[in-house]
Amino acid sequence: MPSSPLASLALPHVRGLHAYTPGLQPTGPGWVKLNTNECPYAPSPRVVEALHREIGRDGASLRLYPNPPSRPLRAALARLHGVREENVCVGNGSDDILNLLVRACCAPAAAAGWMFPSYSLYPVLVAIQQGASAVLPFERSMQLPIEQIAASSAQAFFLTSPNAPTGVAFSNAELARVLAAFRGLLVVDEAYAPFAAENAVPLLAAHPRLVVVRTLSKAYALAGIRVGYALADPEIIGLLDRVRDSYNVNRLSQAAALAAVEDPDYYAQVIAKVRATRDAQLGCFAAERGWFTYPSQANFIFTEPRDARGASGPAVARSAYDFLGSRQVLVRYFPSHALTDSFLRISVGTDDEMLVLQDSLDAWLKTPNA
């Protein structure tokens, strides 16, 4: 790329970086937003109370720096998961945690590994660090290639489970087999685990090379406050604390997250509702429409649209995506790879939003290009 004198002040590899592309966040009214897997329901009312309490009448507390390690939140998360506070590190979103792991473990001589397709932030973080990479492709079955991961030269392997964008989850039995054979750090990115049948937390006690990464952005309806965390052996947590910004989680986010974590009954209802809507939608897509759809354990569905003639493929997925967009129904389309380019990823919204989605797909099937 042509380098201006200003850009030439940066490191050469930085000039060549490509920033992560987040899903669209439309600002106008009227959108049915099913593209970034946010929760369709409000956070716990206790979150709003906690924010008001933290701000107070005049915002005086905002003069002061937040608790540097987010200590009260670490303690609450430890109680939630039945681990010790020394097993928890809190970040500015789980993206911050993933970044800390890459900073701590990845370099030109120490590769990071991940599956494709999975969360597309990993390559961005590793490129910033000039890390080497060991990328393993899924087959269309989306089965976990345990032997290949075990044989990987990666220092740290990032596994998304349930995976994005497919929604397919990997069992603890599979993860235990990976842990038994793979010598590096296994980072299981569990952004969607609250919607799944199983999670890897019970494996932590016996597997010091396992890191479980969680977020409050999806199941806790708090994408806007940016809180995520890692659960791991205290030595790993110590490494993250050495590379972390000392005030990486702001005062309001700590207060909001603490209130959310301390209201499990509220979130059990939210999660049950999202799962019920997801399972009903899986029925709509797979059984009723006959579209190939992965068995999602997340809060989104990855489905391969068929047009009125029964055809599928990139042109069909693109046509459905464009038609939905023209109806202000926003979903996600990943055109750049054969494993994803004939699918749409659709976040689970409210039942009303799902009605609009299904009606819009019916209308698409009646258009000439479908």
Ligand X SMILES: *Cc1c(COP(=O)(O)O)cnc(C)c1O
Binding site for ligand X (CB under 6 A): 93-95, 119, 160, 164, 189, 191, 215, 217-218, 223, 228
Residue type, position 32, single letter:
V
What is the C-alpha R_g of the chain? Answer: 21
| Closest separation in Å from C-beta 337 to ligand X | 17
Q: Is the peptide bond before 117 cis (omega within 30 degrees of 0)?
A: yes
If the CB atoms of residues 95 and 307 are measured against ligand X, the closer one turns out to be: 95
| Closest separation in Å from C-beta 301 to ligand X | 14
If the CB atoms of residues 164 and 348 are measured against ligand X, the closer one turns out to be: 164
Give the three-class secondary structure for 302: strand
CB atoms within 10 A of CB 247: 14
For residues 99 and 220, what is the distance between their CA atoms, to the nearest angstrom? 21
For residues 52 and 208, what is the distance between their CA atoms, to the nearest angstrom? 39
| Closest separation in Å from C-beta 222 to ligand X | 9
| Closest separation in Å from C-beta 95 to ligand X | 3
| Closest separation in Å from C-beta 71 to ligand X | 20
| Closest separation in Å from C-beta 215 to ligand X | 3
If the CB atoms of residues 190 and 233 are measured against ligand X, the closer one turns out to be: 190
| Closest separation in Å from C-beta 160 to ligand X | 5
For residues 95 and 228, what is the distance between their CA atoms, to the nearest angstrom? 7
CB atoms within 10 A of CB 206: 9
If the CB atoms of residues 121 and 370 are measured against ligand X, the closer one turns out to be: 121
If the CB atoms of residues 95 and 304 are measured against ligand X, the closer one turns out to be: 95
Helix axes 264-282, 351-365, angle to 10 degrees: 20
| Closest separation in Å from C-beta 99 to ligand X | 9
Instruction: Identify whether the C-beta of residue 189 lies closer than 8 Å to the C-beta of residue 160.
Output: yes
If the CB atoms of residues 303 and 360 are measured against ligand X, the closer one turns out to be: 303
For residues 267 and 257, what is the distance between their CA atoms, to the nearest angstrom? 13
If the CB atoms of residues 104 and 222 are measured against ligand X, the closer one turns out to be: 222
* Residue whose CB is nearest to ligand X in the complex, by number: 93
Helix axes 94-105, 234-243, angle to 10 degrees: 90
Residue (of 95, 49, 38, 96) closest to 258 by Cα position: 49
**Beta 112-116 vs 88-91: how paired, if at all?**
unpaired
Strands (E), the chain: 32-33, 88-91, 112-116, 133-137, 156-160, 185-189, 210-215, 228-231, 292-293, 300-304, 329-330, 344-347
If the CB atoms of residues 191 and 221 are measured against ligand X, the closer one turns out to be: 191
